[in-house]
Amino acid sequence: MLKAFKYRLYPTEEQATLLNKHIGSCRFVYNLALETKQTAYAGFKTNLTCFDLVKQLPELKKECVWLKEVNSQSLQQAINNLDTAFTKFFKGQADFPNFKKRTARQSFQIPQNVRVEDCKLIIPKFKKGIEVKLHRLLKGTIRQATISKSPTGKYFVSILCETGETNKSKPEIKEKSTVGVDLGIKSFLVASNGETFSNPKYLRTAMSRLKFVQRRYSKHKGKKTKHRLAILHEKVANQRKDFLHKASTKLIRENQSIAIEDLNISGMVKNHSLAQSISDAGLGMFVTMLEYKAEWYGVNILRIGRFDPSSKTCSICGVVNKDLTLQDREWTCANGHTLDRDVNAAENIKTFALRDKV
């Protein structure tokens, strides 16, 4: 089983400068490889492979001497990442690769020769080691590492390890041990067993402060104000991630099978009235957490189609209310059953998911 362990790095000033050079150089090589690949195809209908682009690196280093300061394997990995991006695009799993910006996520990968000794991360070009805060035990054999820099200037390393563990076998799907989960905005999560997680709305809570700092940044554009803005956004992101981890772990530990709806998050975000609330809730991140934790702990994840009328169907008698709108939080079916919209949806999600399973 592969698991990633993320730790905070505390580089010296000299090490931080070299880390920044790695980040910038890998971004430069990625963008140059993308431009070269596009130009070759547009001008000569030639499809340059990953190996063709990697072979050009030695000549590129002669022209851009500063690239020699950077770990060559990290530069090659940047080209491999571009090749993976194109593969996903042609399979219909992602959009066409874009050029990386300096303002986007800053990171680079080390595909091998990664060690952790005496609370120091040892990688190529950093023989003395970078101080790392090992707040939890690193388990397994190290495969690779990714070093990233946050907008607030903090450095982190994510170490991918082969733990030697096997995924737990999943139990038989039964109605009693299955819970239906309805995800939303007003209530973040409503389960068919009556459990509810209210939506903390961290971004909305911090919005007044964010707007104040944003106005100062737009007027003065100072580094201190920009840094304060980044700190506020980082706090909101950390709060959201902490909440999602706790909610997903609780669901996984207490249930053997979890039924969820196949939500079209990218499509939902296009609704300008709900985009901010949907992004603040972190629904996509929550589903991702459920999926990988389910693999770790042997829990079944059941899905229903995004067009199944889970909200509009009465969970008691099956009558469909085609006139139901988003504003209707409670409704009464044609047979007189009064229903809470979210609880009713959660029960229907469970029923629909078990239709062909039990």
Active site residues: 182, 261, 342
Expressed in angstroms, the distance from the first to the final Cα of the chain is: 30
Other beta carbons less than 10 A from residue 60's beta carbon = 16
Phi/psi-derived region of residue 154, left when phi > 0, alpha when psi is between -120 and 50, beta in every other case: beta
Which of 153, 54, 68 lies closest to 106 in space, CA to CA?
153
Which of 123, 273, 282, 122 lies closest to 202 in space, CA to CA?
282
Q: Determine contact, residues 86/38, Cβ cutoff 8 Å.
A: no
φ and ψ at residue 36, rounded to 5 degrees: -60, -45
Instruction: For residues 358 and 346, give the distance between their C-alpha atoms in angstroms, rounded to a whole number.
Output: 18
Q: Determine contact, residues 339/315, Cβ cutoff 8 Å.
A: yes
DSSP string, 164-183: ---PPPPPPP-STTEEEEEE
Amino acid at 84: T
Q: Please return the burial class of 188, using the count of CB atoms within 10 Å of its CB with bins 0-12, 13-18 and 19+.
A: buried
Which of 23, 39, 147, 38 lies closest to 82 in space, CA to CA?
38
Count helices and strands (H / E) in the chain.
Answer: 10, 14
Instruction: For residues 138 and 97, give the distance between their C-alpha atoms in angstroms, rounded to a whole number.
Output: 33
To the nearest 10 degrees (0 to 180), the angle between helices 283-297 and 223-254 is 40
